[in-house]
Amino acid sequence: MCQKLPPRISLIGFMGSGKSSIGRLLAGKIAYTFIDLDELIEERTGKSIPEIFAREGEKFFRDYESEALYSLADTAKLIIAAGGGAAVQPANRIFFLNQSYTIYLKVSFNEFLKRTKGRTNRPLLKKPPSDIEALYYDRLPLYRQIGREIATDGRSLEEITTEIITQAALGGSL
């Protein structure tokens, strides 16, 4: 079945949608390499994501993000878990549309709140809930524009991963 799969599968969606957890499971099931884009940025810059945001600002972070993403364009057998804001950059949307089979992992705002409650390791979580909600709804059209939507609320990682494999095998050519 892996021969039918696209060379790169990217997972996009809002924070808490399960991109990293599902990406790791998916990579293991289909013998692909898993790349968490945020971890790759941290490795390349030697700085944490919160540190980049605090010291250099979001614009520099987004530049690092695009560089890291495009550095993967020629690598096959790859699962990419993108950060929640990766779809904001027009250049990244082009990558997701043309260089990768892209899945949008949809999480409802209420489920996002449940999944991230008590977490403080992300710059976004320091904002007021009303700002986060506005950002959530602002990003939805971008996710839908570039990714094949799979709902995650109330579903197991196994179930979601199986659906991704099925979708990618059926329509996965780039």
Q: List the CATH number of the domain containing 121.
A: 3.40.50.300
Encode pLDDT of 40-51 as tens digits: 999 999 999 889
Give the domain range for residue 122: 2-171
Burial 72-101 (b: 16+ CB within 10 A, else e): beeeeebbbbbbbbbbbbeebbebbeebbb
Q: What is the pLDDT of residue 143?
A: 97
CA separation, residue 120 to residues 98, 126, 136 (Å) = 34, 7, 18
Band (65; pLDDT cuts 50, 70, 90)? very high
Alpha carbons 38 and 41: distance in angstroms, whole number:
5
Indicate whether 108 pLDDT > 90.
yes
Alpha carbons 163 and 48: distance in angstroms, whole number:
32
| 3-state SS class at 34 | strand
Domain count, the chain: 1
pTM, to two decimals: 0.92
Band (3; pLDDT cuts 50, 70, 90)? low
DSSP 8-state code for residue 153: T
Angle between helices 109-116 and 129-146 (to 10 degrees): 120
